[in-house]
Amino acid sequence: SSQNLSEEFAEAARQLKKEAPRIQFGKIDVTHQHDLRKDFNIQAFPTVKFFVNGSRENPIDCKGVRKASAFITWVKRRTGPSTVLINSTDQAEAMIKAGDLAVIGFFRELHNGSVEVFCETARDVPEMPFGMTASEDVCANYGVQRNSLVVFKEGKPVHNEVLEDGRQSKLGLTRLIKTFTLDLVTEYNIETSVKIFDVPVENHILLFTPMNSETFNEIYENYQSAAALFRGKILFVLVDTDEARNGRIFEYFRIRDIDVPAVRILNLTSEARYKMPADEVTVENLKEFCQSYLNGKAKQHLPSEEIPQDWDKMPVKVLVGKNFNSIIF
């Protein structure tokens, strides 16, 4: 909530006052400051912007940061080095074991395009420690190919991404790394919904199924296997249809009891919805559905009543989902 974020923001300000007094924190109620709201094009609340070197031009947006510790790290990485330089295996081990997650870049040299993208990504993911190394010993110790990014979870490497030729963009890496703050498949509920929308992946796939059904384990295993193939591109979400509190999300997708198990893809930006053509939730069907969606070949799903026969007989026409686009646009 805005209240929580405001408190965390204030806590970050208190802590940084001692450590970095030149970084000033301010709060504005834009309901009374219409000109400022217009000047900085404030659309959503709360919005956090970082102004650098006394200039009001091009402030940096601070998005998806919710905890005081992450605010502090975000600001520090904007005003100083964004990653820790690792020179020994002991140093690397200390970082890997310090928390749940750690990201380490293994490089041939510390000055190239891949390093730049890695450091820029670190600025946007303050929830995790980032380290980088060009030490032969450290690379050999983990058996990692140079110019690779490795995500460690609970002390073990869980993902290795080759950074050769600068193929990855900062946004692509940010999306990929932030997905590790969630499980491969995230069950939708009040607590996780905030986390789900904090990860900057605009494509979400949702499996609607009762979790207490006999076939659930098999379906869930297939869903997890597919999730591993599309990590960073599509976020896999599970919706328990036995949970009454999920009623609103069923309504939004027009899911009925007789439809389940059902699989839908939602694009958060356009709010376009897509229905998996196959009924069975197999790895192959999921893979085909996700791939056709990413290739732009999936057909949009318009949950709709049938078009009434006399829809255009009267001066006021009757529109339903199936004829809305063709008539209006």
Q: Give pLDDT tens digits for 86-102.
A: 999 999 999 999 999 99
Residues 323 and 280 in one domain: no
Backbone φ and ψ of 309, nearest 5°: -60, -35
pTM score of the predicted model: 0.81
Q: Which residues constitute the domain of residue 311?
A: 302-328
Counting as low any pLDDT under 70, the low residues of the chain are 1, 165-166, 303-305, 321-326, 329
Q: Which residues does residue 273 pair with via DSSP β-bridges, in sequence order?
A: 266
Nearest of 88, 69, 48 to residue 128 by alpha carbon: 69
- Rounded to the nearest angstrom, the gap between the alpha carbon of residue 213 and the centroid of all alpha carbons in its chain is 30
- Are 6 and 70 in a shared domain? yes
Is 161 found in the same domain as 191? no
Rounded CA gap, 237 and 189, in Å?
10
**Do 62 and 96 fall into the same domain?**
no
pLDDT for 231 equals 94
Does one domain contain both 70 and 88? no
| The pLDDT value given to residue 88 | 96
- Domain boundary (55, 79, 103) is at 79
